[in-house]
Structure 1
């Protein structure tokens, strides 16, 4: 049984949050649970995160990692090794693909494989033009003061 939430009342008082509402809607959908390979997600600071994926038996060449916009995909495909006949095979070596939804402006800064653990370092880097800025409010008689960006100023200088 699925309960659908109606986010339309929130659209009246919020701008640009439609992606968040879509993520909430997607998260409420029932999906098949694949618990392999196990992983941890840690918040190291305000803008720093770490994902640790247990990939025992996989080598660096068996793993691949791709970031597309707000999606990080980690996949593994183990090469077949025919070293005798197994009486019991308890170490999982099946192919996998693990997907992580990333927030806006989160980038992978480093990835290391050591002792069967793939460690992925992430950092949220907000571009300078998206950081808060002070806007001066002009009075009735004075003209509004608008700061020009450095790109516009450089383009104007090159044109002159």
Structure 2
């Protein structure tokens, strides 16, 4: 048995590579509650300030977006200023998303598949989506499967380090 964290938690080291380790969960701590209480207090103060200064904030926002009446009609300032940039912002956003998608990954190499490929197929230059890759479960992995895979990786990694040290 290994003692972790000064003997507070006891975990068993599996003797077989197929045995999955028992997951450890951090005990509930007062620090987590304090963080939530502080966050809630800050949120309440922010809402109170927003309510108290709503008129000033609304006037500032209306002035800077051009929605205050100042031309031949009510929304002249908006469409002459802030609103005229909406088309440009849309175009820039669309181009940026397209470039990001192209740089991030390519579509699945399976002919006719529109999905983005995230999984390289070992021994080939192909990148496949989770639907077409043979090693990715289609219905999601269970927690036990994830722990088993991680445990196998850790054992292989330790074996490689032991072989390199010898």
- Given the two structures, how large is their TM-score scaled by the length of structure 2? 0.18
Structure number with greater Rg is 2
Structure 1 or 2: larger strand share? 1
Give the structure, 1 or 2, with the largest relative contact order (CA under 8 Å, sep 6 or more): 1
- Given the two structures, how large is their TM-score scaled by the length of structure 1? 0.18
